[in-house]
């Protein structure tokens, strides 16, 4: 299992140190919220750019934005290695995917829990990753929705080689279900950043 600690769960008073504490992870997951698409605001491309020199981790940028298209250039410049955005957004999915790929990074689509998995089917040959939300997006610390694993299994049947990521409520109790369903990458916030030893927590989660 590949692990992407979510910066949303880090101590914001010492972000540089927090990023260094998760150096054994596979990605750093960066949740960008606009206060419209989800009822919360997190941080923007300036913070992503400030963190970029501090780590060699791949920056996995998740845009929870109503209008992601106009922000793609800023996050490309800030150092994103892959950018995912919501299939439920108001912008053209095709134009947004094209903008990400033209920037030379991987592009993915995100599904909210209530969004039918079939919404993805027209785009499977144009994306590098799917992110299945296992909580309602916008806030950390929510309970894992085990029913979302059926979405994962259906995506795996339709696109065997596609990277599948899940985000929300992943910890040592829930990650086994993710592995069994065919998940490649688990986003983990509280389970990593609030652990006494984040490196040890990452290694444990990676063992699945």
By annotation, the residues acting in catalysis are 31, 167
How far is C-alpha 13 from the chain's CA centre? Answer: 22
Cα angle: 68, vertex 69, 74; to 5 degrees:
85
In angstroms, the CA 55 to CA 78 distance is 13
Could you give the CA distance from residue 171 to residue 176 in angstroms, rounded to a whole number?
9
Q: How far apart are CA 130 and CA 176, in angstroms?
A: 19
- On whether the CB atoms of residues 124 and 158 are closer than 8 A, the answer is yes
Please state, as a whole number, how many other Cβ atoms lie within 10 Å of the Cβ of residue 13.
7
Q: Which helix (H) or strand (E) segment is 63 a member of?
A: strand 58-64
């Amino acid at each position: 299992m590949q692990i992407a600690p979510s910066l949303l769960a880090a101590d914001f008073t010492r972000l540089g140190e927090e990023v260094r504490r998760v150096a054994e992870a596979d990605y750093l997951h960066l949740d960008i919220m606009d206060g419209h698409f989800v009822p919360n605001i997190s941080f923007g491309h300036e913070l992503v750019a400030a963190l970029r020199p501090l780590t060699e981790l791949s920056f996995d940028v998740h845009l929870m934005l109503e209008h992601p298209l106009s922000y793609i250039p800023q996050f490309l410049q800030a150092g994103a290695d892959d950018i995912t955005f919501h299939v439920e957004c108001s912008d053209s999915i095709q134009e947004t995917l094209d903008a990400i790929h033209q920037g030379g990074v991987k592009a993915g689509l995100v599904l909210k829990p209530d969004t039918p998995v079939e919404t993805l089917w027209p785009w499977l040959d144009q994306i590098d990753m799917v992110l299945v939300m296992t909580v309602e997006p916008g806030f950390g610390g929510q309970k894992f929705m085990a029913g979302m694993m059926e979405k994962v299994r259906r995506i795996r049947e339709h696109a065997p080689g596609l990277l599948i990521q899940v985000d929300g409520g992943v910890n040592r109790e829930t990650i086994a279900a993710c592995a069994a369903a065919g998940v490649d990458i688990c986003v983990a916030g509280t389970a990593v950043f609030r652990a006494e030893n984040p490196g040890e927590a990452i290694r444990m989660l990676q063992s699945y």
